[in-house]
Amino acid sequence: MTDIIIHCAVALLLPPLLLGVIGKTKAAFAGRVGAPYLQPYFDLIKLFRKGSVFSETTTWVFRAGPLITLSAALIAVLLIPLGRHVAPLSFSGDLILFAYLFGLSRFFTTIAALDTGSSFEGMGAAREVTFSCLAEPTLFFSLLTLARISKSLSLSTILTHPTPAIWLAAGASMLLLVGALFITLLAENSRIPFDDPNTHLELTMIHEVMVLDHSGPAFGIILYGAALKLFILGAVFVNIAFPVATGNALLDWGIFIVAMLVLAVAIGVVESVMARLRLVRVPQLLVGATILSAFAMLLVLR
């Protein structure tokens, strides 16, 4: 029960801090002081205190989009083990539910953007769907490879199975998986080099263009849902890349939180040293990630 309470508390409170660490890292590389680590929390509180404005051209789909997206993410985070601790919800085949929750989230984000009738948001929705078709196979190949290694279809077993011994036995496959998952992590969360969450008025943006018409609490829900998605995929990455377990529950929780913060710093470093890719280059990088995960599967199946 204690682990479930800590799991829920960490999953609900930590995601905005990751955005704060990324922003602080980018500011440090740029020679600026930057916003406080807790700035994302302040932004969310400010948005939830505001009123919402809805266009008369929108329907219930536009209002339901952020709520369904956040609900899907909240269910998904209950399926993911954090560190060496099993998830509160775990059953054989839950990785399929996990994948469909992400699909449901993307579907409602997309149709909410289309519901506005804006050609600009329609453009972003088209890009989001196109690039997600290239990013999702990487996640599937990675999970199936880990399922093959762990001989289980439960995420709790799949993601807690990697250990230093597994890395020694299947190091090449694990390295390929870590590289592919990091690329997918950046793409799925609209981070540089695929997208820039800090830009809102450029024709090259993908995800951010779909949420331009949201305001107030609805926009706050979208921002929190995006932070939660970063946390979920980050937890998947950390479980595979840093399979450290001490046997002490509280110490393992601390290691997991530190690993997530280190991952946020790594994302900030990548965003500081790289420019956003041209749109024509994005599919090439996503296909490259799929090839990496496919090779990882082949190495496991041989």
Residue-wise pLDDT tens for the chain (302 aa)?
788 899 999 999 999 999 999 999 999 998 888 889 999 999 999 999 998 888 888 899 999 999 999 999 999 999 999 888 889 988 888 888 998 998 899 999 999 989 988 888 888 888 888 888 888 889 888 888 988 888 888 898 888 888 888 888 888 888 999 999 999 999 888 888 888 777 665 555 677 778 888 889 999 999 999 999 999 999 999 999 988 878 788 898 999 999 999 999 999 999 898 888 888 888 888 899 999 999 999 998 87
Q: Are 263 and 242 in contact (CB under 8 A)?
A: no
Specify burial of residue 302 (Cβ count, 10 A radius: 0-12, 13-18, 19+): exposed
Given this model, what pLDDT does residue 67 score?
94
Given this model, what pLDDT does residue 36 score?
92
**Residue 172 tokens, joined:** 């090449």
For residues 243 and 231, give the distance between their C-alpha atoms in angstroms, rounded to a whole number: 17
* pTM for the model: 0.93
Given this model, what pLDDT does residue 150 score?
87
Specify burial of residue 171 (Cβ count, 10 A radius: 0-12, 13-18, 19+): exposed
Q: Which stretch of DSSP H or E encloses residue 272?
A: helix 249-273
Closest CA to 140 of 169, 98, 176, 170: 98
**Longest alpha-carbon distance in the chain:** 59
Given this model, what pLDDT does residue 197 score?
72
Given this model, what pLDDT does residue 204 score?
56
Q: What is the DSSP letter of 80?
A: S
Given this model, what pLDDT does residue 269 score?
93
